[in-house]
């Protein structure tokens, strides 16, 4: 995924997107009186859990695959680093050229039109990041994927995934995507910009696949 400390409730010990496994829910042996209501409760609980994790990840400035960083990094909230006008791609690290930003923004616009899902890209170099400020700037909701590119912790690709996206896209996709295009060998050889562009195109391909048992089984 120093800034003023945020409330402790926003700091998560582990910000791994793939580690956000559902909390076990114990159900009694008695028949459920209202299955539809129970299902809605579970989905609402899951959504709130993921939103909490998302807040914690942004408090740290990024979400790291498999590493707990709450003790190492301080929460971030720098709205002054946000652009004056709305954009789906924010590059405060200078990894992308103007042409690359434009191409990514166009691809992201097409994704939203075709799938209804929102992809947002933040390229940062901790601690130079707007952090939590992007949540309101982008109006992040359950249909939003926030992709944070930051090379400070080895793997440059980090993701915060909304609950609705999480229902359609297998969680293993994000870890496989980070493993293919985000590993240090890849981005040091190809460049941070190449990792970001490759990740956006892979996400675009995945989000367009029909939902099923084998969707997003390959990182393209």
Q: Which two tokens stand for residue 46?
A: 């899951």
List, for residues 149-159, the tens digit of each pLDDT value.
999 878 999 99
CA distances from 110 to 59, 104, 107 (A): 29, 10, 5
User: What is the pLDDT confidence band of residue 66, given thresholds at 50, 70 and 90?
Assistant: very low
Coil, helix or strand for 76?
Answer: coil
57: pLDDT strictly greater than 50: no
| Residue of 17 and 97 predicted with greater confidence | 97
Q: How far apart, in whole angstroms, are the C-alpha atoms of residue 57 and residue 160?
A: 8
| Residue of 57 and 217 predicted with greater confidence | 217
Domains of the chain: 79-208 (3.10.310.50)
Question: What mean pLDDT do residues 67-87 have?
Answer: 73
Answer for the pair 18, 66: CB distance below 8 angstroms, yes or no: yes
Q: What is the pTM of this model?
A: 0.71
Q: How far apart, in whole angstroms, are the C-alpha atoms of residue 216 and residue 47?
A: 22
Q: How far apart, in whole angstroms, are the C-alpha atoms of residue 99 and residue 102?
A: 5
| Residue of 143 and 54 predicted with greater confidence | 143
SS (H, E, C) 107-166: HHHHHHHHHCCEEEEEECECCECCECHHHHHCCCCCCEEEEEECHHHCCCEEEEECHHHH
Q: How far apart, in whole angstroms, are the C-alpha atoms of residue 177 and residue 219?
A: 6
Range in 45-49, 149-153, 161-165 with the lowest mean pLDDT: 45-49
Question: What mean pLDDT do residues 64-70 have?
Answer: 35
List, for residues 90-144, the tens digit of each pLDDT value.
999 999 999 999 999 999 999 999 999 999 999 999 999 999 999 999 999 999 9
């Amino acid at each position: 995924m120093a800034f003023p400390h945020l409330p402790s409730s926003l700091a998560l010990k582990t910000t791994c997107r793939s580690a956000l496994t559902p909390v076990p829910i114990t159900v009694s042996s008695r028949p459920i009186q209202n299955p539809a209501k129970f299902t809605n409760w579970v989905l609402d609980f899951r959504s709130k859990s993921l939103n909490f994790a998302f807040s914690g990840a942004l408090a740290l400035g990024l979400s790291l695959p498999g590493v707990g960083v709450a003790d190492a990094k301080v929460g971030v909230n720098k709205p002054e680093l946000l652009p004056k006008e709305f954009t789906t791609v924010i590059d405060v690290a200078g990894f992308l050229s103007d042409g690359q930003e434009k191409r990514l923004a166009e691809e992201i616009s097409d994704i939203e039109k075709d799938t209804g899902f929102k992809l947002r890209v933040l390229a940062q170099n901790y601690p130079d990041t707007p952090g939590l400020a992007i949540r309101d700037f982008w109006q992040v909701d359950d249909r939003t994927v926030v992709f944070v590119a930051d090379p400070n912790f080895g793997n440059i690709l980090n993701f915060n995934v909304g609950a609705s996206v999480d229902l359609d896209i297998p969680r293993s996709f994000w870890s496989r995507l980070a493993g293919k295009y985000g590993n240090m060998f890849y981005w040091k050889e190809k460049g941070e910009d190449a990792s970001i562009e490759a990740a956006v195109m892979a996400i675009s391909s995945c989000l367009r696949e029909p939902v099923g048992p084998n969707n997003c089984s390959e990182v393209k």
